Amino acid sequence: MTSRVARDVFAVARSPRATRGTSRRRARWGDATTSKTRRPRTRARRDAASSADHDALHEWLSANGADVASVEFYDARAGDEDDGGDAGWGARATRALARGAKAIVVPKSLWITPEVGMNDDELGKALRDEDVAGGLARWTTLALTLLKERERGEESKYAAYVKTLPEVLHSPLFWNAEELSEIQGTQLLDNAAGYDGYVRGVYETLRTGMFAKHADVFDVEGAFSEDNFRWAFGILRSRTMAPCDGANIALVPGVDLVNHSSLSQARWRVSGGVAGAVAGLFGGGKGDDGVSARVECDRALNVNEPLYVNYNPEGTDTSFALDFGFVDTITPSPGYALSLSVPEDDPNVFDKLDVLDVCGLGETPTFTLRAYSDPDPDLRTFLRLLNCKNQDAFLLEALFRQQCWSLISEPLSRENEADCCASMTDGVAAALSAYASRALDEEKAYLMSPPSARRAAAGDDERARVRKDVAVRVRLAEKSTLIETASFFDVIASGLDGMEYYQERRLRSLNLLDEDGSSTYDPFNETMA
């Protein structure tokens, strides 16, 4: 039973994230599994956008109401020899800035939002066509808007911004089969394959529907090809973040050039107008309603010091590689996303789902395993619920429904705790078996080699070298996390005899056990009474 549970647990964990709506289609990824930081969002090629392009963006922002006087856009790759020279463009202070100072402020009138496309004279008629556009996701509308502005070139209002967007993205969604073979067995490969299938499916729906009906608007052989649509998806994944994501998704020129640091406490912020205070934040009319996006300094900055934000404080190396195409080399975040659910054939499945409903965790919660931290206490509680059976199953009865989660937050029984440990260690072993090797020696040796040696090994192909670095760091992160997790549960399993379980805790609460664990029940006194 435990081995089946373990397989179920890790099979779910290795699947694409459900919140993205991804499918399991493999598409072009089939060959990949058998064939041979502080970082900017997308790591463009060295020649992708020039200093003149970024200067023009700065001028355009300033001329159209943005406050960018305190920063300049600069090529962060210069002088990055120690880390292989694979950084990209960023923003840095042009004067001393105090902590809390607004370094960049960009009004909504300069953002690219789905409403820009909906209100566009050319694109809008297709996007408002309910026959083919009904139910279109907001990110899809924004992607099509971006591609239309890109197609217009210098005639686009957003030309200065679009010209700075990288042509080459380093998310695995854009890797070739040889590069993908470097992440064989990883959760990253599975998630990227899910993205691939999802994007292909959305594009096919557009191609046979909206694009076919409005062929005068969408050139599928040019600006609206599948490759270009994939590029737009990658741009949105890598250049939007809260609160300008999800239902409020928007591209914010200038703000999206601020690089990432896990050490930063700064975030994107939105304020101003009624729209900035309610949900549905950025919908509505053509004006900016006083709404603006900004980045504030989380510390005092001197002249020429870079400005940073934290793209995702809860992110792992795998999620950063998937969405942004990099791994933070300064403060890596090794982790592994584990999604759990109660098997449908569990004899107590409905009782267990009721318990999850009461505690508000949901039917399929996702826990992030961390290499250098103990597992989330809720994960251990969920494992106890998952393995609750036999004599322990009485706690699943309606009488205990409201208290069940609290009652099993500590060890339930020796059998249950042993099953929890076995399910995790067996699951880890199964997950590690998918990698070319469970050892970490190869990854450590590669990362300890000089950047120049890594470039030489890649034949001075910068794109290949960057992606190899990402692949190696992700393999190291995922395997380290799994190994640490197995070690944690091995230690727990070795101490099962010394644990106090539910029955002992219950008897002690009734004063039927003393501090030594001996029964305080005296049948003679009970009889005499």
Alpha carbon distance 280, 262 (integer Å): 29
In sequence order, the β-bridge partners of residue 301 are 97
* 455 shares a domain with 400: yes
Which distant-in-sequence residues (6+ apart) come within 8 Å of 103 by Cβ? 70, 71, 91, 93, 97, 294, 295, 296, 297, 301, 307
Residues 205-215 have pLDDT tens digits of 999 999 999 99
41: pLDDT strictly greater than 70: no
Residues 240-257 have pLDDT tens digits of 999 999 999 999 999 999
Alpha carbon distance 28, 24 (integer Å): 12
Q: Which two tokens stand for residue 260?
A: 């990432």
Average pLDDT on 35-48 reads 41
Average pLDDT on 130-144 reads 95
Position 77 scores a pLDDT of 77
201: pLDDT strictly greater than 80: yes
Has residue 170 been placed in a domain?
no
* 410 shares a domain with 295: no
* 239 shares a domain with 140: yes
Can you list the alpha helix ranges (DSSP code H) found in 340-461? 349-359, 377-386, 404-407, 414-432, 441-448, 451-457
Position 79 scores a pLDDT of 54
Give the domain-ending residue among 269, 291, 321. Answer: 321
Residues 340-384 have pLDDT tens digits of 999 999 999 999 999 999 999 999 999 999 999 999 999 999 999
* 346 shares a domain with 317: no
Give the domain-ending residue among 272, 298, 321. Answer: 321
Which distant-in-sequence residues (6+ apart) come within 8 Å of 220 by Cβ? 207, 211
Position 236 scores a pLDDT of 98
Has residue 470 been placed in a domain?
yes
123: pLDDT strictly greater than 60: yes
34: pLDDT strictly greater than 80: no
Has residue 193 been placed in a domain?
no
Has residue 4 been placed in a domain?
no
| Domain containing residue 435: CATH number | 3.90.1420.10
Position 86 scores a pLDDT of 54
* 486 shares a domain with 389: yes
State the distance between the two ends of the chain, measured CA to CA, in whole angstroms.
48
Give the domain-ending residue among 292, 321, 350. Answer: 321
Residues 71-105 have pLDDT tens digits of 999 998 765 544 434 568 999 999 999 999 999 99
284: pLDDT strictly greater than 50: no
| Domain containing residue 243: CATH number | 3.90.1410.10
* 460 shares a domain with 379: yes
Question: What number of other Cβ atoms are within 10 A of residue 250's Cβ?
Answer: 25
* 402 shares a domain with 350: yes
Domain carrying residue 267: 51-165+228-321
Secondary structure (DSSP) of 121-157 = TTTHHHHT-HHHHTT--HHHHHHHHHHHHHHHGGGST
Name which of 46-50, 226-230, 343-347 the model is least confident about. 46-50
Position 163 scores a pLDDT of 97
Position 22 scores a pLDDT of 34
Has residue 96 been placed in a domain?
yes
Position 510 scores a pLDDT of 62
Residues 503-515 have pLDDT tens digits of 888 877 766 555 6
364 within 8 A of 18, measured Cβ to Cβ: yes
Number of structural domains, the chain?
A: 2
pLDDT band at 288 (very low <50, low <70, confident <90, very high): low
The closest alpha carbon to 304, from 83, 106, 74, belongs to 74
* 302 shares a domain with 340: no
* 448 shares a domain with 313: no
* 387 shares a domain with 261: no
293 within 8 A of 256, measured Cβ to Cβ: no
Residues 263-283 have pLDDT tens digits of 999 999 998 754 444 334 444
Choose between 526 and 179: higher pLDDT.
179
Sheet with 268-271: list strands edge to edge. Answer: 102-107, 292-296, 268-271
Position 12 scores a pLDDT of 37
Has residue 8 been placed in a domain?
no
312 within 8 A of 319, measured Cβ to Cβ: yes
The closest alpha carbon to 91, from 309, 398, 325, belongs to 309
Has residue 528 been placed in a domain?
no
Alpha carbon distance 114, 435 (integer Å): 41
* 423 shares a domain with 341: yes
* 352 shares a domain with 431: yes
Residues 318-343 have pLDDT tens digits of 999 999 999 999 999 999 999 999 99
Position 63 scores a pLDDT of 98
The closest alpha carbon to 319, from 191, 438, 193, belongs to 191
Has residue 520 been placed in a domain?
no
How many residues in the chain?
Answer: 529
Mean of all residue pLDDT scores within the chain: 86
The closest alpha carbon to 174, from 46, 332, 43, belongs to 43
Taking the C-alpha atoms of 323, 324, 330 and 336 in order, what is their torsion angle to the nearest 10 degrees?
10
Residues 438-467 have pLDDT tens digits of 999 999 999 999 989 998 988 889 899 999
pLDDT band at 517 (very low <50, low <70, confident <90, very high): low
Position 15 scores a pLDDT of 38
28: pLDDT strictly greater than 70: no
